[in-house]
């Protein structure tokens, strides 16, 4: 009880320090955003304000579609949008910053302002977001293998501060106090759900934000709606908000928020109109009636609300994360449709219109025409011909070769997202059959003398397989990183193999080959090679096919039915992973900006099974199970 009283006093003192003092002339207070604690409301440019916002992550859609999605969100009655900033996208290697193309954060925020939307910015450094390593760059694990992520660890704070300073310098002109659309900036992300509970770290981060932002926007935190989560996520001097979904008690949730934020507007920073889905699950859906009911209850008490997600988009390439921990591992789909009000292809759903009808009872709707579903194309089947074996000694996708007594991690090999082949010789004197054991992160195709012998899987907890006649033969394990953990206390998630034994005898003397696929153009002019359909007993294969588009390209969906597991590329764009045997996702979304009039190219890397037809087809409807 004394702790709660202390926290309440602390929060009230913070509130007192943030009272609004209106300047003496119009030009000084024209642009501002703050909190009127006495009347439990936000003040935008000195006037009472509340937002109904939606999450849209710019890195999950081609930049050509940013305006379209944002305009549709405004048409739904939203007056703000929320986005994370993904550290790994913007600093793929230490000191190498990327702010161009699909990473042009400033352009995204400018478009939001042009579409009459305010912005809630969530720059992390950790974002979760169902992204690989929660948006943290993999190289943190390479540069400092024993780094204590999301703590006052000197190395983590140094790297995080350098990144945050880059972000905050970029967005400074876009803060509300400078006339821009950014009204709120989040410090860290749901920190109460991380067991480090390092208050010194949170204070250090907050100071980075304070120095760059000052009073030009409102700092805030977001945590789940329980006192234990708020206890570690709350930072004095930042506005404390909570997350919760439909079918939960609005009153009791906001009562929990009041333990740490006794005065000021009520806020749900992540209200879930859908949910995420992992491979092997039924596609997750949330009923529209439950969403509108809870939304109305929140708006009735004057709360501000952010939908997570309003538009989900796609985990293109290898950017998906995973949930789990010590005893479980569940990677997310390529699609981040999320059963959101706007589909993965940006089309409005019945849920979209029901939410709009609810919002209109509380906020004026803009004079924007209602969106409709965009036309989709059925480009038909594409015959795919094998052109290159991945494990060919002349493979153009090799980025590193090393050897060592013990297998090294992906991170120490500077392989971020992709595959590593681990090879060694089996001893001459082992039992028959022998038992191979390897702790595998995350999935390994096991070959003996270049022939498939089985699969190890972190998902299925399969870490042993029998090997027949193993004497003195070549053992190869092709390991796939299926996505680093993005949530929980085990995000320190190295990839590769470890503790490899054959019938209890440790295996040493490893050769390691890393593969990445940032450029597949080298496959365009190769001639067809001979590969049998069915199970790929001799290793993964690249297949290539061409198709023609007449007229303006349209969005389409690549149907992977009948194939095994792999990755698809259209005109060099990595669409992401497919795995129809496990599902539930069967099709991959193909945005029109990835296509062109005339000849187009489809390339796939098939890991396990070539369909008998050797065809994939482009169709006009998605299949997410």
Catalytic residues: 190, 270
CA 113-115-118 angle, 5° bins? 45
DSSP per-residue string spanning 551-567: SS--BEEEE-TT--SEE
- Alpha helix locations (H) across 398-507? none
Edge-to-edge strand ranges of the sheet holding 573-578: 385-389, 541-549, 598-606, 566-570, 573-578
CA atoms within 13 A on the CB side of 565: 16
Residues pairing with 332 in the sheet:
278
CA torsion 607→612→613→614, rounded to 10°?
Answer: 30
Q: Is the dihedral of CA 145, 151, 157, 159 positive or negative?
A: positive
With beta carbons less than 8 A apart as the criterion, state whether 266 and 297 touch.
no
Whole-angstrom distance, CA of residue 199 vs CA of residue 618: 51
Whole-angstrom distance, CA of residue 220 vs CA of residue 213: 12
Neighbours of 311 (CB within 10 A): 28
In 3D, which of 590, 406, 402 has the Cα closest to residue 499? 406
Structural tokens at position 18: 């943030």
Run of H or E including 223: strand 218-224
DSSP per-residue string spanning 577-600: EE-TTT-S--EEEE-GGG--SEEE
With beta carbons less than 8 A apart as the criterion, state whether 120 and 84 touch.
no
Helix (H, G, I), strand (E, B) or coil at 16: helix
With beta carbons less than 8 A apart as the criterion, state whether 516 and 346 touch.
no
3-state helix, strand, coil in the chain (%, to 5): 25, 30, 45
Run of H or E including 217: none
DSSP per-residue string spanning 145-205: TT--TTSS-HHHHHHHHHHHHHHHHHHGGGBGGGTSSEEEEE-SSSGGGSTT--HHHHHHH
Residue 481 makes CB contacts below 8 A (sequence gap 6+) with 318, 410, 415, 416, 417, 418, 419, 441, 442, 495
Distance of CA 449 to the CA centre of its chain: 38
Maximal C-alpha separation, the chain: 88
Residue 547 makes CB contacts below 8 A (sequence gap 6+) with 379, 380, 382, 599, 600, 602, 618
With beta carbons less than 8 A apart as the criterion, state whether 539 and 396 touch.
no
Strand 267-271, strand 304-311: pairing: parallel
Residues pairing with 557 in the sheet:
589, 619
With beta carbons less than 8 A apart as the criterion, state whether 510 and 406 touch.
yes
Query: Which residue reads 């990839």 in tokens?
Result: 495
């Amino acid at each position: 009880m004394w702790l709660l009283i202390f926290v309440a006093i602390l929060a009230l003192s913070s509130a007192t320090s943030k009272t609004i003092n209106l300047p003496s002339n119009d030009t000084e207070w024209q642009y501002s955003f703050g909190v009127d604690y006495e009347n439990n409301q936000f003040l935008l440019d000195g006037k009472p304000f509340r937002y109904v916002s939606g999450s849209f992550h710019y890195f999950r859609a081609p930049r050509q579609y940013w305006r379209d999605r944002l305009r549709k969100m405004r048409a739904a009655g939203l007056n703000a949008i929320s986005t994370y900033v993904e550290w790994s996208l913007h600093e793929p290697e230490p000191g190498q910053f990327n702010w161009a193309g699909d990473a042009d954060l400033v352009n995204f925020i400018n478009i939001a302002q042009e579409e009459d939307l305010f912005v809630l910015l969530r720059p992390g450094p950790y974002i979760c977001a169902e992204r690989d390593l929660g948006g943290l760059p993999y190289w943190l694990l390479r540069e400092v293998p024993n780094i204590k992520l999301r703590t006052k660890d000197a190395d983590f704070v140094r790297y995080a501060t350098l990144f945050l300073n880059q972000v905050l310098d970029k967005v400074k002109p876009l803060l509300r106090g400078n006339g821009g659309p950014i009204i709120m900036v989040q410090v860290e992300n749901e920190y109460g759900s991380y067991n480090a509970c390092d208050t010194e770290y949170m204070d250090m981060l907050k100071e980075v934000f304070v120095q760059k932002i000052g009073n030009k926007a409102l700092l805030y935190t977001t945590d789940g709606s329980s006192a234990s989560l708020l206890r570690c996520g709350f930072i004095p001097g930042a506005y404390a908000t909570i997350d919760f979904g439909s079918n939960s008690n609005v009153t009791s949730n906001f009562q929990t928020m009041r333990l740490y934020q006794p005065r000021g507007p009520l806020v749900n920073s992540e209200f879930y109109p859908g949910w995420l889905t992992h491979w092997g699950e039924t596609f997750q859906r949330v009923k529209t009636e439950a969403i509108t009911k809870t939304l109305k209850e929140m708006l009735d008490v004057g709360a501000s609300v952010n939908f997570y997600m309003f538009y989900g988009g796609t985990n293109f390439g290898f950017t998906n994360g995973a949930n789990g921990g010590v005893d479980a591992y569940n990677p997310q789909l390529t699609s981040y449709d999320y059963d959101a009000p706007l589909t993965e292809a940006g089309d409005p759903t019945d849920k979209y219109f029901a939410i709009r009808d609810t919002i209109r009872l509380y906020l004026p709707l803009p004079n924007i025409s209602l969106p409709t579903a965009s036309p989709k194309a059925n480009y038909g089947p594409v015959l795919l011909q094998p052109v290159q074996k991945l494990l060919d000694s002349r493979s153009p996708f090799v980025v590193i070769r090393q050897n060592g007594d013990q297998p090294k991690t992906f991170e120490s090999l500077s392989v971020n997202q992709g595959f590593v082949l681990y090879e060694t010789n089996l001893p001459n004197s082992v039992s028959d059959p022998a038992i191979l054991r390897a702790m595998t992160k995350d999935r390994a195709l096991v070959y003996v003398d270049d022939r498939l012998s089985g699969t190890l899987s972190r998902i299925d907890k399969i870490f042993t397989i029998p090997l027949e006649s193993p004497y003195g033969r070549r053992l190869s394990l092709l390991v796939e990183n299926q996505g680093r953990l993005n949530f929980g206390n085990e995000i320190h998630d190295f990839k590769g193999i470890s503790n490899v034994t054959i019938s209890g005898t440790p295996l040493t003397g490893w050769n390691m080959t890393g593969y990445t696929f940032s450029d597949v153009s080298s496959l365009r002019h190769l001639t067809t090679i001979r590969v049998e359909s069915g199970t790929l007993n001799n290793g993964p294969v690249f297949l290539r096919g061409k198709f023609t588009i007449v007229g303006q390209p349209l969005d389409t969906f690549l149907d992977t039915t009948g194939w095994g597991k792999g990755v698809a590329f259209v005109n060099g764009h990595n669409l992401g992973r497919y795995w129809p045997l496990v599902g539930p996702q069967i099709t991959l979304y193909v945005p029109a900006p990835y296509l062109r009039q005339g000849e187009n190219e489809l390339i796939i890397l098939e890991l396990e099974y070539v369909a008998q037809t050797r065809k994939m087809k482009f169709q006009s409807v998605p299949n997410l199970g």
